[in-house]
Homo-oligomer: A and B are copies of this chain.
Amino acid sequence: MADGTMLELGRKILASQPFSVLLGAELLGLAEGASELSVPIRPEFGQQHGFVHGGIVSYAADNALTFAGGSVLGTAVVTSEFKINYVRPVSGELLVARATVVHHGKRQAVCRCNVFASEDGNETPCAAAQGTIVRLSTPG
């Protein structure tokens, strides 16, 4: 699949996720083995100290991981598990999550993701994640 077509398809899938629409997430890039997803930071995404809530950061990481996995496994995929290290509380204009496939077979892909907070084009590292994406056709 051409990368442009894949990105278009990915955007349709993202648009069909009500939660991603609620958060305003966008798919900036999608190609074989890699994805880039952004979420504009809004005041209602905060925690009690004014930083972005970890829940938004983990959403971005999780979804970027799923799209990266899907780029090599097909569209019917879910995140089976992941771990995330929050490296720093962040604020700013935009969260950007970039995920890549580390290794994959036919049924599952191990992917990694780095999340940054972006403001005026400057990026601050925010979190690092790693997880397993699996094809949905897998029962059990």
Contact = CB atoms under 8 A, between A and B. Distances in A.
A13 B47 CA distance: 9
A103 B16 CA distance: 29
Nearest to A106: B140
Contact of A130 (B44, B46, B48, B112): B112
State the copy count for this chain.
4
Interface string A60-103: 00110010000000000011111111111100000000000011
Contact of A46 (B18, B56, B81, B86): B18
B108 A140 contact: yes
A22 interface: yes
Given A44-B19, A46-B17, A58-B58, A79 B86 contact: yes
Contacts of A102: 85, 87, 114, 125, 128
